[in-house]
Chain A
Amino acid sequence: MIEKASGWKSMATLDNTRQRYRYTGSRALQPKPGEKDKNGRLLYGYLPDKELVDAVNLAIYLNRPLLIKGEPGCGKTRLAQAVAYELRLPYEAWHIKSTSRAHDGLYTYDTVGRLRDAQLASKGWLRNIPGPESYIRWNALGRAFQSNVPTIVLIDEIDKADIDFPNDLLLELDEQRFLVEETGREMRAREDARPIVIITSNDEKDLPDAFLRRCLFHYINFPDEIRLKEIINVHCPGASQAIVNAAVGRFLELRGKMKEDKESGKKVSTSELIDWFRVLSLDAELSSAGEILAQLAEDQPLPHASVLLKSLEDQRYRALRASRTAK
């Protein structure tokens, strides 16, 4: 028992290095409007609530993967990039497909290429066969393990893969090492540069218990009205506040109605609100803000409803106005 306790103690002091990285989510550290990532895509701010910020810091400090769940479109996937941006750490994304295998996240080995080279060499058409190492292609997790600074690794939509998938990742996530079978080389993350892993799930399949036990868990709640307005302002800087207020009002009304009608099932999401607002502000630029405000008035049908309503069944919300004015 004593041993156990002291072992844990030494771990705590060791983890002090990790405390260097503290996520705040503060407005001052967000990307500036118009700032682009290295692929030329526009970066936007990300406004986490305090609980989410705490969960991220806890995951960093305790060195556990952070599992994020929440409604579709609530910003699960974007969290990892936002954390990487603020902490100025490298970012690796691994988007899971139904055919993904745990191994795919670490590396792929170009066996065929190696066989081809061997064949070419045996015919004398290739002078030097490259060493076995050179056929390794590192993937997201594999690269993160070799980094000199902690890398933010996003494992997106883990529930899409086979049910065995999360369990196959346990060793890699737990001990932060893996073996390149083809060369026998063991890769181990540097003690002070262990990857920070953020995992998202849409809850389509249950995850195995053994896997859940090792993760920290956070459920992203739907933002309240004030936060929604902040989010809009971050994504569409310079928008007229009158339009923001009116749009968020209509949006929340629609969402409330959907929630009333169907307990579960798809409701309009934050990401759809952002898209919708972009269309509205484009309209406002082309015509006038006054006209858009008139369209957003409560007794009007929803403008650009197709951005928000994606199924035939949902089309009935187009003419939502009646519900409120009738009262």
Chain B
Amino acid sequence: MTEHTLPLFELFTRLRQADLPLGIDEYKLLLQALEAGFGGPDLDALAHLCRTLWIKSEADLRVFERHFQQIMVRSMTRDAPSSSASTAPLQTQGQASSSHIPPVSQPAPSANVATNVEAQAVQAVLHTASEDELPYNHFVRSDEYFPVTRRQMKQSWRYLRRPVREGPAIDVDIERTVEKIGRQEMLLEPVFVARHVNRVELLLLMDQGGSMVPFHALSRRLAETALRGGNLSNAEIYYFRNSPVEHLFLDPSYQEARPIQEVIKRLHEKRAAVLLFSDAGAARGHYNEERYILTKEFLDQLKQHTRYSAWLNPMPPGRWVDTTAERIAQIIPMFDVSRRGLDTTISVLCGRFLPRREQSHHG
């Protein structure tokens, strides 16, 4: 038996392969804790120790439980019969309490017990360094197969800001205070201002059904990250089919409707940012006059109420050519769903960057 087949290290490697955010430090932490007598006396306690050290989310927990069951419990039963030699407990420098740790968490019986923990750490370092990136099976084990990951989406949303000074005046306005001292020759009272808060109101309009079906997971993720991940105090999501006509829907299955006028009227002129998510007819691959006119009518209506709007198109820009999307991209800034596209979209929604029309094709 070599060090590499030790269940703990196997567990660590498997979890890494399953994309858990684990590094050498995390492995060392485990060894260090074991050495100090944590993680005993049974498998449950060991599992709990690993969870405390390694698991930070519910999704990771499920992955962990599966692998722990597979590796630890299996090796437990495998080792049990032939354990006359291997029941030698994990002897870590006089740690009597750890002697209850079952053979599974223990180094190879042939290994030098005195140096086992350090040896394991070094082995782990060497081993993992040699195949650090673990490229195989990468995309199968993760659901982050879109061009933009959840994390990146959240990061992008965070830049969607419309800072407004609001609330009690608690920050000292240094410049105006100094200016006031200059006028009055001494400081009588500093000038206070309210703190900046993000008051952006995001209106997310999602095309649903039809040619958008393949992108439903992506639109769900956009909605999810907008609502949860960012620091948007105000985000509303509505759904439509192909182009928004008369009504917008509160749910993806078109159960509850709101008149478009009512939704748009409520938009705050300066704070609202409207983002449409649709293939704009690019998936169909041809030009549809009716779709263009309906969309244009809606956008004209929208522009009377807000200055900040943009369009995210899940189809790559190459596929917009000669379709309805190409025409629509001329009347609203349109970008593809890539890291850069998303960031530019957010910039447009913040009013920072208005691309010339011919630029909007490459996002």
| B172–A213 CB distance below 8 A | no
Could you tell me the distance between the alpha carbons of A4 and B32 in the complex, rounded to whole angstroms?
A: 13
CB distance from B97 to the nearest CB of A (A): 12
A99 at the binding interface (Cβ < 8 Å):
yes
| B190–A5 CB distance below 8 A | no
| B32–A163 CB distance below 8 A | no
With A4-B125, A216-B53, A218-B52 in contact, do A62 and B187 touch (Cβ < 8 Å)?
no
B48 at the binding interface (Cβ < 8 Å):
yes
Which candidate, B82-90, B224-232, B283-291, is the interface stretch facing chain A?
Answer: B224-232
**Chain B, range 11-56, C-beta contacts under 8 Å to A:** 21, 23, 26, 28-29, 32-33, 35-36, 38, 45, 48-49, 51-53, 55-56
When C-beta atoms are compared, the residue in chain A nearest to B126 turns out to be: A1
B339 at the binding interface (Cβ < 8 Å):
no
- Which of B26, B55, B126, B181 gathers most chain A CB within 10 Å? B55
| B49–A112 CB distance below 8 A | no
Interface size class of A (residues with CB under 8 A): 35 or more
Contact among B29, B125, B187 with A115 in the assembled complex (CB-CB below 8 Å) = B187
- Tell me the dominant secondary structure on chain B's binding face: helix
| B126–A217 CB distance below 8 A | no
Could you tell me the distance between the alpha carbons of A216 and B40 in the complex, rounded to whole angstroms?
A: 18
| B231–A58 CB distance below 8 A | no
B134 at the binding interface (Cβ < 8 Å):
no
Contacts of A1 in B (CB 8 A): 122, 125-126
**Chain B, range 100-120, C-beta contacts under 8 Å to A:** 118
| B187–A119 CB distance below 8 A | yes
Could you tell me the distance between the alpha carbons of A167 and B106 in the complex, rounded to whole angstroms?
A: 37
B270 at the binding interface (Cβ < 8 Å):
no
Could you tell me the distance between the alpha carbons of A231 and B31 in the complex, rounded to whole angstroms?
A: 35
**Chain A, range 24-55, C-beta contacts under 8 Å to B:** 51, 54-55
| B56–A217 CB distance below 8 A | yes
| B187–A5 CB distance below 8 A | no
CB distance from B51 to the nearest CB of A (A): 8
When C-beta atoms are compared, the residue in chain B nearest to A51 turns out to be: B48
Interface string of A218-237 (1 = CB under 8 A from B): 10000000000000000000
Contact among A51, A58, A99, A111 with B53 in the assembled complex (CB-CB below 8 Å) = A58
Contacts of A123 in B (CB 8 A): 186
Number of residue pairs A-B, CB distance < 8 angstroms: 84
With A58-B33, A162-B231 in contact, do A116 and B187 touch (Cβ < 8 Å)?
yes
| A54–B121 CB distance below 8 A | no
With A112-B190, A209-B151 in contact, do A217 and B55 touch (Cβ < 8 Å)?
yes
Interface string of A200-223 (1 = CB under 8 A from B): 000001100100110111100000
Could you tell me the distance between the alpha carbons of A119 and B186 in the complex, rounded to whole angstroms?
A: 6
B154 at the binding interface (Cβ < 8 Å):
yes
| B154–A206 CB distance below 8 A | yes
Contact among A62, A112, A163, A212 with B230 in the assembled complex (CB-CB below 8 Å) = A163
| B38–A61 CB distance below 8 A | yes
- Tell me the dominant secondary structure on chain A's binding face: helix
Contact among B32, B45, B55, B229 with A8 in the assembled complex (CB-CB below 8 Å) = B32
Contacts of B74 in A (CB 8 A): none
Contacts of B33 in A (CB 8 A): 58, 61-62
Could you tell me the distance between the alpha carbons of A15 and B37 in the complex, rounded to whole angstroms?
A: 13
B216 at the binding interface (Cβ < 8 Å):
no
| B228–A206 CB distance below 8 A | yes
A9 at the binding interface (Cβ < 8 Å):
yes
Could you tell me the distance between the alpha carbons of A64 and B35 in the complex, rounded to whole angstroms?
A: 17
A151 at the binding interface (Cβ < 8 Å):
no
A12 at the binding interface (Cβ < 8 Å):
yes
A2 at the binding interface (Cβ < 8 Å):
yes
| B187–A217 CB distance below 8 A | no
A306 at the binding interface (Cβ < 8 Å):
no
With A4-B125, A62-B29, A119-B187 in contact, do A209 and B21 touch (Cβ < 8 Å)?
yes
- Which of B45, B181, B187 gathers most chain A CB within 10 Å? B187
New contact pairs (16) apart from A58-B33, A206-B228, A209-B21, CB-CB < 8 Å: A5-B121, A5-B122, A8-B121, A12-B32, A12-B35, A61-B36, A64-B29, A115-B187, A122-B186, A123-B186, A163-B158, A205-B229, A209-B151, A215-B56, A216-B53, A217-B56
- Give A contacts to B, CB under 8 Å: 1-2, 4-5, 8-9, 11-12, 15, 19, 51, 54-55, 57-58, 61-62, 64, 67, 99, 111-112, 115-116, 119, 122-123, 162-163, 205-206, 209, 212-213, 215-218
9 contacts between A and B (CB under 8 A): A1-B125, A1-B126, A4-B125, A12-B35, A51-B48, A58-B33, A99-B167, A209-B151, A217-B52
- Give B contacts to A, CB under 8 Å: 21, 23, 26, 28-29, 32-33, 35-36, 38, 45, 48-49, 51-53, 55-57, 118, 121-122, 125-126, 151, 154, 158, 167, 172, 177, 181, 186-187, 190, 195, 228-231
> What are the nearest 5 A-B pairs in CB distance?
A212-B56, A119-B187, A55-B52, A119-B186, A5-B118
